[in-house]
Amino acid sequence: MGKPKLLLLHGALGSMSEFDPLRGFLEPHFETLPFNFTGHGGRRIQPEGFTMTSMAAELYSWIIQENIFRPIIFGYSMGGYVALKCEAQHPGLIGHIITLGTKFDWSTESTDKQITGLDINTWRQKIPYYVSSLEKIHSPNDINILADQTRLMMQHLSQLDYLNESELKNIQCRVSLLLGALDRMVTQEETMHIQQCLTNSVMKILPETKHPLDKADPAILTEIIYSETISH
């Protein structure tokens, strides 16, 4: 019997390469399958952009095309939301969803804050090395266009595409909601609210952990993912 398949879904403005350090820890236990959403990691940007629903549809198509039966999914930040959206639309498709640092509060105030903070020109002045890395990861795409499409996705998510309580109740698989204790983007309150809306879920706080995936200890994260999946 082979190792269980673990699908890895990246965050906003991310790519599957962000999982490279973690995969070395995961692969003794799982067959890891990373994925780039449209416009990310070199996949061509589409003029119509992308929404949470369109990314959930991409995930559904990938699972069906690869004939992956009830996979385990580890979704970082936006990737966790996509996984939940996909399972809500196709109950029973996924075996277990593990999220890390996934933002659930898409109220107008919270969304405006996220959109305002996503400013490539400001980043280029303050953290030029980060912008350079984004340009390399997403080449040949224009990082400014990707950022524009990400802001539109967030706006659409806030207005039309958010997970409502009815959709959350459609989710049949077990969900493990992980959150860094030092995450300044996602609150424990918004994560706890989602946990209470799900029928089979657990919430775990990672001590001394900030929002960026590379700030999480890969050994500790692997231990949690492994224990969560083999115990259920």
In a domain, 116, yes or no: no
Distance CA 200, CA 75 (A): 17
**Average pLDDT of the segment spanning 94-114:** 97
Distance CA 100, CA 14 (A): 14
In a domain, 136, yes or no: no
Q: What is the band of 6 on the pLDDT scale with cuts at 50, 70, 90?
A: very high
pLDDT for res 214: 94
pLDDT for res 95: 97
Domain that holds residue 58: 5-105+163-230
In a domain, 36, yes or no: yes
The share of the chain scoring above pLDDT 90, in percent, equals 97
Cβ-contact 87, 174 below 8 angstroms: no
Q: How many domains does the chain have?
A: 1
In a domain, 185, yes or no: yes
- Tell me, yes or no, if the pTM score tops 0.95: yes
55: pLDDT strictly greater than 80: yes
Q: What is the band of 2 on the pLDDT scale with cuts at 50, 70, 90?
A: confident
Q: What is the pLDDT of residues 124-153, one digit of tens each?
A: 999 999 999 999 999 999 999 999 999 999
pLDDT for res 160: 87
The overall average pLDDT reported for the chain is 96
Best CA proximity match to 63, nearest among 100, 39, 24, 97: 97
Q: What is the band of 232 on the pLDDT scale with cuts at 50, 70, 90?
A: low
In a domain, 38, yes or no: yes
- The domain that holds 205 is classified in CATH as 3.40.50.1820
Q: What is the pLDDT of residues 19-31, one digit of tens each?
A: 999 999 999 999 9
Q: What is the band of 230 on the pLDDT scale with cuts at 50, 70, 90?
A: confident
Which residues are within 8 A (CB) of 151 and not within 5 positions of it... i.e. 6 or more apart? 115, 118
In a domain, 62, yes or no: yes
